[in-house]
Structures are given as structure tokens and as C-alpha cells.
Amino acid sequence: MTREELLSHVAERGGLPGVEAAERVVRAVLEVLGERLSWPVIQALVDDLPSPLAASLRDVTPNQIFNLAELHARVAERTQVRLGLAVEHTGVVCQVLAEALTPGTLHRLREALPEPMSALFTPREPDEPFEHVHVDPHRRTLAEGRSGSYHPVSEARPERAHTHSVLRADNPHEDTKLSSSIGFTQEREQDTLAAGHPGSSRPLSEGEG
């Protein structure tokens, strides 16, 4: 894979504005990876990568011990982006590198890294669709609904209640609202002060005072 092809893939999949931005991200990721690797593995990468990109690995301080979170943090610092975006960019770069490297070098690279990092170097399947990081601003925002939808979120009616929940009823508190209630149990059974006291057959209004 040539330098232009590699950077074009990174720019497209990472939603970057062009190859120059992609090159800055690729160089940062390579530098941080080089700091985690040993010299023999670094040399294998240098032999596989286009010369301008391989130069990012020549002056690193290798054999440092850090985890995936630190890898992302270092990439974020060197590319001057927020951590979440650095995570996305790192994943894209590692995927494209996995497609660009020879099988032998890819195997050595993955063997040299701990599992969370080595898992990043998984080539994309040939028929696997790629979902861009940046969505279409016209019809694919949270304000207008889920990706691919023309139905705004504000018009959605998600079913969040179980079958017998009061949330499913048009008038969920109909039995107890003063405006629509037919009365509590005592009222329905004519056992209220208005109708008389317990044990009486006459309402108070008919009493003798």
C-alpha cells in the first residue's frame, strides 16, 4: 500500500478533512506504538511502511510499558483532540495499518502487544461496510432521528411500559381523579358521611339532628 493510499483510507474512514490531517494522526499513532514496542518489531514496521511514515518510528524511545488507555491519551495529546476522537482515530489507523502490513509483520506486531492493543490490528473484511465517523448533517443528527431515519426523535413514541402499565392508558389515573372518578370504594358502596354513618340506613341529611 502506498503512502497516498494509506492516508486516503485513514482520511475517509476517520472523517478527516484530507491526507495532511490523516498524516498527522498516522504519525502520532506510529510514534506512540513505537514507544511500546522493541527495536526488532519497530524495524519490521519500518521495512513495511512507506518511507515518509516510517520516519516517525526512527527516533522513538522503545520498550516503554503502558496500557491501552495511555496509548489513547498520548495520541490525544499529540494530535490536540479530545480523548474520544483520539480513540476513534487510533482505531482507524490501526485497522488500516493491519491491511497495509505484510502477514509476517502483522503477526509480530500483534504478538508484541497486550491483548487490548493487539485487537486493534484487525483488518476490515473485504465486504464489510464501513460507517463514517461524521454523519450527514442534513438527515442524520439526534435532532432529526436515528441514522438513516426521516422520523424526528421528537415525534417518536417508544414503548417503554409493560402491557398493564398505567402509562399505556389514555387517562391513567381515571379511577382516582376528581374530574372523572366515579368515586372511591366507600362512595360506590354508599358508605360515606354524605350517605350516613356505618350501620345507618338513612343519610345524615334525613337525620333528626
**pLDDT (0 to 100) of residue 9:** 97
94 and 36 in contact (C-beta within 8 Å)? no
pTM here is 0.62
Taking residues 161-187, what's their average pLDDT?
A: 47
pLDDT tens column, 90-114:
999 999 999 999 999 999 999 999 9
**pLDDT (0 to 100) of residue 125:** 75
**pLDDT (0 to 100) of residue 128:** 53
Q: How many CB atoms lie within 10 A of CB 147?
A: 12
pLDDT tens column, 120-159:
999 987 655 544 444 333 333 334 333 344 344 444 444 4
**pLDDT (0 to 100) of residue 188:** 46
207 and 193 in contact (C-beta within 8 Å)? no
> Average per-residue pLDDT in the chain?
76
**pLDDT (0 to 100) of residue 199:** 53
Q: Which residues contact 165 (CB under 8 A, 6 or more apart)?
A: none
Predicted confidence band of residue 163 (pLDDT cuts 50, 70, 90): very low
Taking residues 29-47, what's their average pLDDT?
A: 97
- Tally DSSP H helices, then E strands, for the chain: 9, 0
Q: Is the pLDDT of residue 30 over 70?
A: yes
Bigger pLDDT: 203 or 39? 39
Q: Give rounded-to-5 percent helix, strand, coil for the chain.
A: 50, 0, 50
Q: Is the pLDDT of residue 26 over 90?
A: yes
